Each structure stands twice: as C-alpha cells, then as structure tokens.
Copies of this chain bind each other. A is one copy, B any other.
Amino acid sequence: MTVTEIAIAGFGKIARDQHVPSIARSDAFRLAATVSRNARADGIPAFGDIADMIAARPDVTAVALCMPPQARFGYAVAAIEAGLDVLLEKPPGASVAEVKALTRTAKAKGCVLFATWHSRFAAGVSAAKAWLATRRVLSARITWREDVRHWHPGQDWIWEPGGLGVFDPGINALSILTEILPVPVHVTDAELEFPANRATPIAARLTMYGAGDVIVAADFDWRQTGPQTWDIEVETDVGTLRLSKGGAEVEAAGRRLVAGEALQSEYDGLYSRFAHLLARRESEVDVSPLVHVADAFMLARRIETDPFHD
C-alpha cells in the first residue's frame, strides 16, 4: 500500500484529539508535519507557515486543514496551488461560494478535495441510511443539545462571524440527516437566538420540508448542562428510527441495528475514505449541510438573548 505523507495545518483541539490518533492508526497515512503558529506535536516537524512547509517538504502530498473555518480558504488555495490533495475539517469553509470556488480550483489543478463531515462516519449512520432507503419517511426530529462551555472552552472563533455558533455542532446533525434521508429537504423557517454580545447564535430551531410532505424539526441548543443530547428520530410508515449519541447507536422499529462504538472511530472511517478517494483521484464535496445553515441564517427570525460569557 502507498503511504501518503500528510501534514496537519491548524493544530488545535480537533487535530490533537481526532486527526493525530486516526492518522497514527491508519496504514495509508503518515503524519509528516504540522503547520501552526503556536502549537506542535512531539517528534513531528513543525512549521509556522504553510508556504514554508510546502517549500521544505516536497514529499508531503496531502494536507488536512483543521483551523477555524474563517481561515480555511486561504490555506486551501495555497495547498491546491502547490498541487497538494486537501482534506477539509467541517464545515468546509465560512461561505458556500468559497467551497464551490475551491472545488473548481481543485479540479483545474487535478487535486483531490475531500470536504469531510465526520458525523457521517458515526457507527450507526450507514445502517440508518440503508434501513430508511426502502421506507416512506413521514417526519424527522433532531435534538442536538450540548454545553458549549464544556465542548468549546475559550474558543472565541465560534462566536465570531463565520464561526456558526450553535450550528458548529448542529451542522453535524444536518450532515447525518442529509446522508440518511431518502429525500432532499430545505429550510422553510428558522428562529435563531443570539447572545446580546455575540455575532453567532447560541440556539436555533429550524423547520425543513422535503418532497412527499416530509417535515423535519431541528432543535439546536448550546445551553444544556448535565446529560448531553445528540438524537435524530425519523418517523416512517413502518415505525420509528432512532439515532442516538451523535449517530453511534441506532434502533429501528424497536430493534437495535448498531450498538455504540468509540467516537474516535468516526475519524478512522474518515481517513479510510480519504485513502479511497486518493487511490481513485476523486474529489468528494457535498456542500448541502452548509447550504442549509446559510439558508437558516437567511430565513431566520432573530431573537436577542442573554449575553454569553465563558
């Protein structure tokens, strides 16, 4: 098997917690370098700038971009212009149009571009998709409620324009929904709660519509302390499908389809998919979860709520 020398650019929490261990477990990749202004991994060559890394390491042929979405486009263009294959953490960018621009640029340069949605690799997602494929979907309900202070300590970028606020986790639910539902949906109504001192919402409630009068209700909230909730329920003509724990567990019509596995396996599946795409020289860019978020912002009724302090 060819081993791809890969760099990680943007070396924050998600890079350390997920990308490094999954790359270490993969036969297809070797972590060759990191790019970050202020963080590094023990024993791995570290660069402060992606241009320096590209110049110094011609053996590196791929890069995983894990910085906040507001900065992703610049790094992606630099990487693609240098002929590197690119893996984008979610969300793939701060705007829908920039992801389309990247897709065109990657195609023109012959680079593989993989816009990842890690939640689609949760253990229960493919089983849920297969089960729903032959059923008639009536409605769905997403409940995605977590404690922002626990999951995003001190991460100011999530509250800045382009950081998406509660849609940073919520887009994971939308990436699962768009993967498992047999019909496409679109946002018809949205209510967003913005803390008085922040640019992005702390809570969002969406209604979506799909062909065949499918109605989806989504409830995203970042103020839930105690037990955390990442559930999707889909009502069908033959019973209810329940994905829980962010997609790790799934039961349908009262029968368990898949029981929980460790969350880190999402990224093992993700890197396995990247290896598959590289072998075929194919890109995979599904921008639909980000389109739904942009649509929700465009369609939203805004509610101002209590200031948020870390």
Contacts and interface: CB of A to CB of B under 8 A. Distances in A.
B97 A292 contact: yes
Contacts of A184: 97, 100-101, 104
B187 A95 contact: yes
Copies of this chain, tallied across the complex = 2
A156 interface: no
Given A161-B189, A184-B100, A188-B95, A199 B301 contact: yes
Contacts of A230: none
Interface in A266-310: 288, 291-295, 297-302, 304
Given A101-B211, A211-B101, A298 B186 contact: no
B161 A301 contact: yes
Interface string A216-240: 0000000000000000000000000
Nearest to A74: B209
Instruction: Categorize the interface residue count of chain A.
Output: 35 or more
A54 interface: no
A194 interface: yes
A185 interface: yes
Nearest to A163: B299
Given A199-B301, A300-B161, A302-B199, A295 B187 contact: no
B211 A95 contact: no
A21 interface: no
A28 interface: no
A73 B184 CA distance: 14
A48 B189 CA distance: 25
Contacts of A104: 184
A17 interface: no
A96 interface: yes
Nearest to A199: B301
Contacts of A95: 186-188, 295, 298-299
10 contacts: A96-B291, A97-B184, A97-B187, A97-B292, A98-B186, A161-B190, A161-B300, A162-B298, A199-B301, A293-B298
Given A94-B299, A95-B299, 11 more contacts: A94-B188, A96-B295, A96-B298, A97-B184, A97-B187, A97-B291, A97-B295, A101-B184, A199-B301, A294-B295, A304-B304
What 6 A-B pairs are tightest by C-beta distance, nearest first? A97-B186, A294-B294, A95-B295, A297-B297, A98-B186, A297-B298
